[in-house]
A and B are shown apart, each in its own frame.
Chain A
Amino acid sequence: MLALERVNVRIGAMHVLRNVTLEVRPGATAALVGRNGAGKTTTLRTVMGLAARSSGTITFAGTDLDAVPPHRRPALGIGYAPEDRRLFSAFSVEENILLPDRVARTRNADAARKLERVYETVPELKELRRRPAGSVSGGQGKMVALGRALMIGTRLVLLDEPFQGLAPALARRYGDALRRLRERERELSLVITESNPALLAGLADTTFVIERGEVVPAETAPDHVG
């Protein structure tokens, strides 16, 4: 589904990603674990086209993403929930979740059906939907960002440190939502970054460990990072 092949990213003088190679199969849940600053976020941003790579290729469902400008990648079915939520505070929660489909001019009936499906996966969102996005708590905001990413990501969803900063109760509900998602959408590929791999136990079926911008074999990595 998603394949990175010897991807290098430099930001200024920093060599942030070094020959990153990884592959995520359809329906797989891949964990990308590593310390803060190891390159997890940059990896996801590079897939979205937000960070420019200096070499290497990224293919998605057989398409070289080089040929796809960043704003067209969502239309391929790639959803992305950044670590810091990044909701549009001028809109309500539901407007945030629906914005991608409005932009893509999805038929109203189709968008409503997708929205209902997202509400079934993340039921917390239904109660929040009329709230201004600027007024929800940080943890609730993460749920909203997940909902928005699910509306776009019909084939691949990238979640950047979803559990970071979540209170334990919310983290459990977020985990429940991911498990429901896993059961309902068997074909969907998931990439989840995390500095504490224990949080992804039972969810991930593949784990990539990234250290100083390099993907290292999982078995040689220290079992506790971050």
Chain B
Amino acid sequence: MDPILLVLATLDGIAYAALVFLVAVGLTLIFGVMRILNVAHGGFYAIGAYAAASLVLSVSGADLNPWLTFPALLVAAGAVGAVLGLVIERGLLRHIYAKEEVLQLLVTFAAFMILEDVQRLVWGVQPYAATDPVRLLGTVEVMGIPYNAYQIILLPAIALLVLVGLRWFLRHTLSGKVITAVTEDRETAITVGIDARRVFTITFVIGAVLASLGGALASPTTAIQLGLGAEMIVLSFAVVATAGLGQVEGAALAALLIGLGRSFAVYLVPELDVLIPYMIMVLVLLVRPQGLFAVAEKRRI
């Protein structure tokens, strides 16, 4: 393989993995606490991307300092995640926690479809491009190859920051410990005084904000159009399943594995690039059905 392609594939893979991680880690956090596989997560990602693009475009068009497009990305992500997360958890999921898992999955799938229609209604069908943040950061040279700094420095840096921050939050803050306790054993958490329902809301909103952050950060790098969310939810599900459901650190490594696998496929066997992430997932699950990083759950009677 041409060394230039090798470097390019690696850089592409890292950049992509950073985005996938942000979405996957929220998905896995929500699953860990609530035991719900939240398909609507793809909708949070897509609406985060649309909202960020709209805000960036209006900042760019309004004769303001162009660097304000960066806080605009974060503001869009926070607002979309908080509002959608609260509405879906309080309005929908809260009523079905006692129901069987299949129904919960179908309800989040329905929410995903509704969010797709919301995108169509609000943003129409034409694609959006809001590339100012990428342009502003310019390019850096990595082993002689110019690559845009936004994707190869900013995105991985934010992903790392989220990973480290989340680990710190879960281990060293009271809210984090409470979330960890509910993840491990919901019932016992209740008997030590933890309000599991409140923990569900907080966790779901954190997960939703992370998904829409992924979307917002992706928005300057790609054309934003319908179908964005579906692609991302399937891929981040592959990451979460590969890592093991509920694994935060594992999701980072699995995202890297799948991101790199996909980008190498793009250069080497382009006809397989869509397939590679799922082949990795299937291979891992054949050998370790609980995922790479999860310990098989002890049976409780």
- Asked whether B193 is an interface residue with its Cβ less than 8 Å from the other chain, the reply is yes
Contact between chains at B191 and A102 (CB < 8 Å): no
Contact residues in A for B188 (Cβ distance below 8 Å): 82, 86, 88
Q: Assuming the A-B contacts A84-B300, A86-B185, A88-B184, are A100 and B190 also in contact, with contact meaning beta carbons closer than 8 angstroms in the complex? A: no
Q: Give the interface segment out of B58-66, B172-180, B250-258, B262-270.
A: B172-180
Determine if A50 and B190 form an interchain contact, defined as CB atoms under 8 angstroms apart. Answer: yes
Residues of A within 8 A of B194 (CB): 71, 103
Which chain A residues lie closer than 8 Å to B187 at the CB level? Answer: 50, 86
Q: Can you identify 30 A-B contacts, CB atoms within 8 angstroms?
A: A48-B190, A49-B190, A50-B190, A50-B191, A69-B195, A70-B190, A70-B191, A71-B190, A71-B193, A71-B194, A71-B195, A73-B191, A74-B192, A74-B193, A82-B191, A86-B185, A86-B187, A88-B181, A88-B185, A89-B184, A90-B181, A90-B184, A99-B192, A100-B193, A102-B174, A103-B174, A103-B192, A103-B193, A103-B194, A148-B192
**B-chain residues with CB within 8 Å of residue A104 when the two chains form the complex:** 193
- Complex CA gap A88/B180 in Å reads 9
B196 at the interface (CB under 8 A from A): yes
Encode contact with B along A70-109: 1 for CB under 8 Å, 0 otherwise: 1111110000101010101111000100011011100000
* Interface pair B184/A103, CB less than 8 Å apart: no
A191 in the interface (beta carbon within 8 A): no
CB-contacts of A43-73 with B (<8 A) = 48-50, 69-73
Bound together, the chains give a CA A103 to CA B194 distance in angstroms of 7
Residues of A within 8 A of B180 (CB): 88, 90-91
Q: A84-B300, A90-B180, A102-B177 are in contact. Are A152 and B185 (CB under 8 A)?
A: no
**B178 nearest CB neighbor, chain A only:** A103
Chain A min CB distance to B194 (Å): 6
Which of B178, B187, B190, B193 lies at the interface centre, i.e. has the most chain A CB atoms within 10 A of its CB? B193
Query: A50 to B188, alpha carbons, bound, how many Å?
Result: 9
**How near does chain A come to B183, taking the closest CB pair, in angstroms?**
8
Known: A71-B196, A102-B174. A48 touches B184 (CB 8 A): no
Q: By the criterion of a CB under 8 Å from any partner CB, how many residues of chain B are at the interface?
A: 17
Q: Secondary structure of the B side of the interface?
A: helix
The residues of A that contact B300 with a CB separation of less than 8 Å are 84
Q: What residue in chain A is nearest B191 (Cβ atoms)?
A: A80
Q: What residues of B have a CB within 8 angstroms of the CB of A50 in the complex?
A: 187, 190-191
- Chain A residue numbers with a CB within 8 Å of B184 are 88-90
By a CB distance below 8 angstroms, the chain B residues around A72 are 193
Partner of B177, one of A91, A148, A152: A91
> Given A84-B300, A102-B174: A152 and B193 within 8 A (CB)?
yes
Going nearest first, the 8 A-B pairs with the smallest beta carbon separation are: A74-B193, A86-B188, A100-B192, A103-B193, A71-B195, A71-B190, A80-B191, A90-B180
Q: Select A99's contact among B181, B190, B195, B196, beta carbons within 8 Å.
A: B181
- Type the 1/0 row for B288-300, where 1 means its CB is closer than 8 Å to any CB of A: 0000000000001
- What is the CA–CA distance of A103 and B174 in the complex, to the nearest angstrom? 7
Given contacts A50-B191, A71-B194, A90-B181, 20 further A-B contacts (CB under 8 A): A48-B190, A48-B191, A50-B190, A70-B190, A71-B193, A71-B195, A74-B192, A75-B193, A86-B185, A88-B181, A88-B184, A90-B184, A91-B180, A95-B177, A99-B177, A99-B192, A102-B174, A102-B177, A103-B174, A152-B193
Chain B nearest CB from A119 CB (Å) reads 18
The interface bits of chain A over 165-208 (1 if a CB of B lies within 8 angstroms of the residue's CB, else 0) are 00000000000000000000000000000000000000000000
Residue of A at shortest CB range from B198?
A71
Nearest-CB distance from A65 to chain B (Å)? 14
Measured CB to CB, the nearest residue on chain B to A78 is: B191
Tell me which residues across on chain B come within 8 A of A89, comparing CB atoms: 184
Alpha-carbon distance between A9 and B216 when the two chains are bound, in angstroms: 50
Report Cα–Cα, A164/B78, bound state, in Å.
Answer: 50
- With A and B bound together, what is the CA distance between A56 and B96 in angstroms? 26
Contacts of B192 in A (CB 8 A): 74, 99-100, 103, 148, 152
Q: Separation in Å of the A224 CB from the closest CB of chain B?
A: 25
In the complex, what distance in Å separates the CA atom of A82 from the CA atom of B188?
A: 9
A49 to B195, CA, bound (A): 13
Chain A residues lying within 8 Å of B190, measured Cβ to Cβ, are: 48-50, 70-71
Query: What is the chain A residue whose CB lies nearest that of B184?
Result: A88
Q: Min CB distance, A98 to chain B, in Å? A: 10
Q: Which residues of B contact A148 (CB under 8 A)?
A: 192
CB distance from B250 to the nearest CB of A (A): 15
Contacts of B193 in A (CB 8 A): 71-72, 74-75, 100, 103-104, 152
